Amino acid sequence: MGNVQNYLEWALELVRLWSPKLLTALILLVAGMWIIRLTTRATARLMTRREVDASLRGFLRSLISISLKVLLLISVAGMLGIETTSFIALIGAAGLAIGLALQGSLANFAGGVLILINKPFRAGDYIEAQGVAGSVHEILIFNTILKTPDNKTIFLPNGPLAGGNIVNFSAEAKRRVDMTFGISYSDDIQKAREVIRALIGKDQRIIKDPAPMVVISGLADSSVNFAVRVWCKREDYWDIFFDMHEQIKQEFDNNNISIPFPQRDVHVHQVAAA
């Protein structure tokens, strides 16, 4: 009977000692879970307003939630008197080992996050980066997929892509078409300029503001070069570029304006036999 009494007193003493800690830890756990839920919801709303990619939103929300819950559990364990130093050191060592093993993948992941948040380009944009160019087919977490005009598929790792130079040809609604046309030194410069301006004026795809520019850009070895600069909608860029070259060749021919091409004179000298 004495042993039972001793066990009962020991249990009551244990409850008396641990009840405040258990109650405080329980309150902290419940309040912490509630705060974490509010935080993840607020983060999700912020990412939605920033138009972050849907797949990235879900991943980041889960990552934030799990990280905060791990910190909360460690805090609760510390309040209960559980030694957490070794546990934290173990998590840190495991994280370091994983980070070193996945260094390249983590860099690509970070690059993907930056691309999806900052949006230097979107799906469908035509870009040039890392020495290649193509239309953005898909933006993934670890790489970006481009489609070239001749239907090749290019996989670009997001780490170098996010940290390098990116030329986005589709970012602006208007683009300038730069062209150069040469005429012979014997041709009439003013007449050639009028022919070019007439073709520009007839093309409804060319934007009149900013005004088109037709100027002499250089006196080459065998030609007087005109620099022609016109503005258009980005989707009309290549059509105007190709059409203008064809039409100017035809109009130059119709107006007896020559387009010089490289020529070489060969002089043959005969030496009389001795």
Find out whether 214 and 226 touch, Cβ atoms under 8 Å: yes
* C-alpha to C-alpha distance for 115 and 161, rounded to whole angstroms: 9
List beta partners, residue 176. 231
Reply yes or no on whether the pLDDT at 59 is more than 80.
Answer: no
* Residue 48, pLDDT score: 77
**Neighbouring residues of 173: CB distance < 8 A, sequence distance ≥ 6:** 233, 234
pTM score above 0.75: no
Structural domain 2-101, CATH architecture: Orthogonal Bundle (1.10)
Mean pLDDT of the chain: 80
Q: Domain 120-168 is of which CATH architecture?
A: Roll (2.30)
Highest mean pLDDT among 5-19, 76-90, 145-159: 145-159
Please say if the pLDDT value at position 98 is more than 60. Answer: no
Which part of the chain is CATH 3.30.70.100? 174-254
| Per-residue confidence (pLDDT) for residue 102, from 0 to 100 | 47
Length of the chain: 274
Among the ranges given (29-33, 200-204, 246-250), the one the predictor scored with the smallest mean pLDDT: 29-33
Give the pLDDT of residue 273.
Answer: 60
pLDDT digits (tens, 9 = 90+) for 164-192: 899 999 888 999 999 999 999 989 999 99
Secondary structure (DSSP) of 187-225: S-HHHHHHHHHHHHHH-TTEESSSPPEEEEEEE-SS-EE
Structure tokens at 95: 């994280």
Q: Does residue 87 surpass a pLDDT of 70?
A: no
45-59 mean pLDDT: 69
Per-residue burial over 70-109, b = 16 or more CB atoms within 10 Å of its CB, e = otherwise: eebeeebeebeeeebeeeeeeeeeeeeeeeeeeeeeebbb
Which residues 6+ apart lie within 8 Å of 13 measured at CB?
none
**What residue spans in the chain does CATH classification 2.30.30.60 cover?**
120-168
pLDDT category at 74 given cuts 50, 70, 90 is confident
More confident residue, 147 or 101: 147
Residue ranges matching CATH 1.10.287.1260 in the chain:
2-101
Q: What confidence tens digit (pLDDT) does each residue in 108-166 have? A: 888 888 887 788 888 888 999 988 999 998 888 788 889 998 999 999 988 888 888 99
- Alpha-helical segments (H) within the chain: 2-49, 54-79, 85-101, 103-118, 158-163, 189-202, 237-254
Class of domain 174-254: alpha beta
pLDDT tops 90 at residue 259: no
Residue 9 exposure: Cα atoms within 13 Å on the Cβ side? 6
Q: Are 55 and 113 a contacting pair, CB within 8 Å?
A: no
Strand 132-139, strand 126-129: pairing: antiparallel
pLDDT at 212 over 90: yes
Alpha carbon distance 256, 249 (integer Å): 11
Average pLDDT over residues 21-32: 75
